[in-house]
Structure 1
Amino acid sequence: MNKVKLFTVEGLVMVVLFSTAQAWPCSPCICEFLEDLWGWKVDCNSLGLKEMPALPSTTRILYLQNNSLTTVLPGTLDMLHYLKEVDLSNNPWHCDCSILYLKYWLEDSHMTSLASVICTTPAFVKMRALSQLSGNELEGCRRPLPNKCLDFIWRDIVLIIMAICVLIAMSCILRYSRKLVYQVSQKQHSSEIPLLQTHDLEREKSE
């Protein structure tokens, strides 16, 4: 009895999946239901696509190579929890800050496919793999410092210059004071010599 129930449940599931397979609008891609993987193979190869097509959440294999894709909007691929294979090669990817979503998504679940994403534009990252680029290297990701930060930087520069000037002035004053002390000591020494000589003469006369 249990075997019959189990067979009936599996049969119903297969019927539902088969019906879904027939009803899913795959155009312009070609969709094939994979019974062994209980999901879809979606083939969008060489269709000249400029944006991501609608995809079933149970997609297992996705072919998007040889199209005209330049970026992927954030959230587009989030529902593909069952995806096992994806090919995004040979697309003219524009590697600015907006491509970070695709980069992070591939890093999390399909690292091997990330190496096939090659940048076409901008020119300074042309022919470089997206996997080799960090966020700071992508156009538009480096945000300019706010005005307050710039004000602090200029204030620090002014303070550093003032501190350097004070140190130079103190060094000059110290050198001058040492020179002055030396000159005073020399004058005192030169004035003491005649006194000593006079004292010696008086002492000789007294003897």
Structure 2
Amino acid sequence: MIMKATVVCNILLFLHTSSFSMCPSPCICTQYRHGGLHVDCSSRFLKNVYMSLPENTVSLSFHNNMLTNIRPGQLDKLHHIQTLNLSQNPWSCDCNIAYLKHWMEDNPNVVVTGATCQSPLHCQRMPIIHLTGNEFASCGGRQHVDCQGFFANTVIMLSLMLLVIILVAWAASVSKGLAWQVATNPYISEADLPMGSRVRLASS
């Protein structure tokens, strides 16, 4: 009985230490009773988020660092996260901030604090989630506009419009020609003409 209790204690101790072994350096991790982690990476002079974050992270803080953006995919495995503190960072709202903006839009239930642009000047103090496509106008492939597709569609539409105009002009010309023939040739009656031509003649 004592041996079984010892084995259980060793297993629990192993699981406990394993969960903390995932804590990324130089952050400090605190385990909640329900098993989730609070990962505190605040005031670590971080310029980028290069570490692998534990998947059971519930609360994450990057408060008071030197972060300007978060690398794409860095937060994708945090399926249990509830709070994210991004305050006191010089967030640069250029092309590289698009991932963080889209991540916040895809995770509306996560309470995010401090996600505010510090640069460029025209975006200063603007919440990152309020950014629109206008701020990413110079991002090239990241915000690609299909100009070739637009041009092709325009050409097709113009071609169809031109074809319709040509057909209408041809029909009007044929109708006038038939009307002239009826008017000048006594041997041709309106009954000899096709139904469509008779309608057009009648309207003229």
- Secondary structure of 1:101 counterpart: helix
Structure 2: distance between partners of 1:79 and 1:19: 21
Q: Does 1:41 align with 2:38?
A: yes
The whole-number CA distance in structure 2 between the counterparts of 1:75 and 1:16 is 30
Aligned partner of 1:146 in structure 2 is 147
Matched, 1:122 2:120: yes
Structure of greater Rg: 1
Q: How many residues align?
A: 155
CA distance in 2, matches of 1:88, 1:65: 5
Q: Distance in 2 between matches of 1:83 and 1:10?
A: 29
Q: Which has the higher helix share?
A: 1
Distance 2:106 2:10 in 1: 34
In the alignment, the residues of structure 2 paired with residue 86 and residue 33 of structure 1 have an alpha-carbon distance, to the nearest angstrom, of 16
Q: Distance in 1 between matches of 2:31 and 2:99?
A: 28
Structure 2 residue aligned with 1:76 = 74
Query: Structure 2: any 5+ residue segments left out of the alignment?
Result: 158-204
Which residue of the partner structure matches residue 96 of structure 2?
98
Calculate the aligned-residue CA RMSD, in Å: 3.3
Secondary structure of 1:94's aligned partner: coil
Moved more, 124-133 or 107-116: 107-116
Q: Alpha carbons of 1:54 and 1:74: their partners in 2 closer, same or farther (altered >3 Å)?
A: same
CA contact (8 A) 2:60 2:83 kept: yes
Cα deviation per residue 1:19-46 (whole Å; 9 max; x = unaligned)? 2134335321111222x12021111111
Instruction: Name stretches of at least 5 consecutive residues in structure 1 with no aligned partner.
Output: 157-207
- The whole-number CA distance in structure 2 between the counterparts of 1:150 and 1:126 is 36
1:189-204 matches, cutoff 5 A: none
Normalised by the length of structure 1, the TM-score is: 0.59
Instruction: Spell out, residue by residue over 1:57-89, the C-alpha distance to the aligned partner (whole angstroms, 9 max, x if none).
Output: 111111111111111121111111111221111
Matched, 1:57 2:55: yes
Contact 2:27/2:39 (8 A) holds in 1: yes
Choose which of 18, 21, 24 in structure 2 pairs with 1:20: 18
The amino acid that maps onto 2:41 is C
Q: Identity percentage over the alignment?
A: 34
SS, match of residue 16 in structure 2: helix
Q: Give the 3 Å change call, closer, same or farther, for CA 10–132 of structure 1 in structure 2.
A: farther
